[in-house]
Structure 1
Amino acid sequence: MAVFDLPVLTKAERRRATKFREFLLDEGFTMMQLSVYIRFTGGKEQALAITNRIGKKVPKNGKVDVLFFTDKQYQNIFSFRGRRDEPKPERPDQLTLF
């Protein structure tokens, strides 16, 4: 999970923030919220390689945290979506992300 806070006060900063979000999508991440993206990997080595690529793409003055969860830990996340009855997002099939 990549969680970030990027400056967006100027046009150039907004452009860099958009490019960073597009980079995450190109890397196979899915947006949970505007500044929260997730991706499943086949193991810790692959997750660390992706984390290194993220670190190289962080915009100037940006703050990015990468969190690691096991499948079991992810299954125990509680998601609330206002008052609407929406199903919890299901764990995507790993094969569809590669």
Structure 2
Amino acid sequence: MSKTKTKITVLEGAEMTADGLSYNGAILSPVVEKCEGCERAVPFEDQKFCPSYAQPATKWKHGVCNFATHVRATVDKEGKVKVNPLKASKRAARGR
């Protein structure tokens, strides 16, 4: 059986309220500028909303949103993986 991704094209049952867009019991905020180009953003009336996360600005606060389909993970400039310094010192003490 093949798994297919389903894309939400319409926010069925959504209502615009004074607080924001009410959808499935949650109040959705409009997407932020960093979300432009994401496949998850769905237009509703004259704005775009993310059905995956209610507060898109919060997801971008500490870095890249993990739901973003238009952003790829970046590798360190040197191509190295960051290692926990505590674990590195223990490995060095064991002679690895």
After TM superposition, the score normalised by the length of structure 1 is 0.21
Between Structure 1 and Structure 2, which shows a larger proportion of helix residues? 1
After TM superposition, the score normalised by the length of structure 2 is 0.21
Higher relative contact order (CA 8 A, sep 6+): 1
Query: Which protein has the larger Cα radius of gyration, Structure 1 or Structure 2?
Result: 2
